[in-house]
């Protein structure tokens, strides 16, 4: 099966400073893994820049202006205690959002049925008015809104990052054309994602207790998320592909392993709809690389 891979060297230049978990080494690990011979059939494309109009599909004018105004000419600046920017951060963020929009365009045009965006900074914590949690702009939410603007009526976002995608939820909690489904450790950062947060019936939050293993994760997805997707009948699925729910990840306490990521990817493929996936979290470099490779290898399956 044809699968596109979007990335850009600019995403490596986003410098978060010494010791920060969201480092360029994360993306380097993923790209190194995807350079293996078994990925030779990936169609590799450079991520284009998202202009302000694209960023404003989700974010307010004030937010877009504030993020770029905060980027320093040298050194580092903090948008919040966790979210660091450096001189190259603006370009990286534009490429990350642009990758998802380009991937949406490509799969809707029939150039491929699946795409993976190996980009950073991640996006799912970025709210319409606020950068947070390592995220400047919400890449997947921008891609979902772009798909709606392209004429789609039902777009699903599936988020299996360790952390709840509060930004994606905030963007779409009153938008019935978008179904947001999330598994995440709870209670945990950012504190959102309780099961009773249902929006206008379009939010499916599946909180998981610390220590949840792959078997319990699969049961939760089977019980809550897959029926919701079946009922919704999405025309496009976007995936917030965070791999920090892996048992080795230092930022959480879920116990997923590579076969669990292959399993959920296959279950999403069963819907037969185009899929665009974008990298979110994952902070144990070896586990991240192996999990992302398993996810992409599954996307390549016929």
Q: Catalytic residue numbers? A: 125
Q: Dihedrals φ, ψ of 34, to 5°? A: -80, 0
250, 283 Cβ separation under 8 angstroms: yes
Pseudo-torsion of CA 277, 245, 79, 137, nearest 10°?
10
Instruction: Please give the distance of CA 241 from its chain centroid, rounded to a whole number.
Output: 5
Pairing of strands 114-117, 77-78: unpaired
Q: C-alpha angle with apex 26: 108 to 270, nearest 5 degrees?
A: 35
**Residue given tokens 């947060």 in the structure block:** 197
In 3-state terms, what secondary structure has residue 275? strand
Pairing of strands 84-85, 77-78: antiparallel
């Amino acid at each position: 099966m044809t699968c596109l891979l979007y990335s850009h060297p600019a995403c490596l230049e986003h410098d978060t400073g010494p010791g920060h978990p969201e480092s360029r080494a994360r993306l380097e690990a993923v790209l190194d893994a995807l350079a293996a011979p078994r990925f030779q059939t990936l169609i590799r494309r450079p991520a284009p820049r998202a202009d302000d109009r694209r960023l404003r599909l989700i974010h307010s004018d004030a937010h877009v202006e504030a993020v770029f105004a905060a980027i320093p000419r040298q050194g580092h600046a903090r948008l919040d205690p966790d979210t660091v920017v450096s001189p190259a951060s603006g370009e990286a963020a534009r490429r990350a959002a642009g990758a998802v929009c380009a991937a949406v365009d490509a799969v809707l045009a029939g150039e491929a049925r699946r795409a993976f965006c190996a980009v950073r900074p991640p996006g799912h914590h970025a709210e319409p008015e606020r950068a947070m949690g390592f995220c400047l702009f919400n890449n997947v939410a921008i891609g979902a809104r772009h798909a709606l603007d392209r004429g789609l009526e039902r777009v699903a976002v599936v988020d299996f990052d360790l952390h709840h995608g509060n930004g994606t939820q905030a963007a779409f909690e009153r938008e019935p054309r978008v179904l947001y489904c999330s598994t995440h450790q709870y209670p945990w950062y950012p504190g959102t994602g309780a099961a009773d947060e249902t929006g206008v019936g379009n939010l499916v939050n599946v909180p998981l207790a610390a220590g949840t293993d792959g078997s319990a994760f699969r049961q939760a997805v089977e019980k809550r998320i897959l029926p919701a997707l079946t009922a919704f009948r999405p025309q496009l699925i976007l995936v917030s592909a965070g791999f920090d729910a892996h048992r080795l990840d230092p930022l959480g306490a879920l116990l997923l392993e590579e076969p669990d990521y292959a399993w959920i990817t296959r279950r999403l493929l069963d819907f037969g709809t185009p899929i665009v996936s974008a990298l979110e979290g994952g902070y144990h470099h070896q586990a991240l690389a192996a999990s992302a490779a398993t996810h992409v290898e599954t996307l390549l399956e016929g």
